[in-house]
Amino acid sequence: MARSKVMSPSSRDEQRWQAESDASTMATYQEIMSDKARMRRAISVAKSKAADLTRRANAMQTVAKTKSSRRK
């Protein structure tokens, strides 16, 4: 027998907030995509941030592979 799911008021509020946020994000996306110069700038910054994150991840990998000089 199927039971209907009852949402709490806070759950409904969270879903409403999320839907409003998503709608705003989607509208912003459309604005960016229709402005070629803005889109190019965003892509340029995204590439730069990705390169920075890759450098940071590589540094963390190096640290993770380093053996501790302390004995247990």
Q: Would you list the domain boundaries of the chain?
A: 27-63
* DSSP state at residue 7: P
CA distance 58 to 52: 10
CA distances from 44 to 21, 33, 59 (A): 25, 14, 23
Reported pTM: 0.65
What is the distance between the alpha carbons of residues 45 and 53, in angstroms, rounded to a whole number? 12
Residues in CB range of 56: below 8 A, 6 or more apart:
none
Tell me which amino acid residue 41 is.
R
Full pLDDT tens readout for the chain, 72 residues: 566 677 788 999 999 999 999 999 999 999 999 999 999 999 999 999 999 999 999 999 999 998 876 555
pLDDT of residue 68: 73
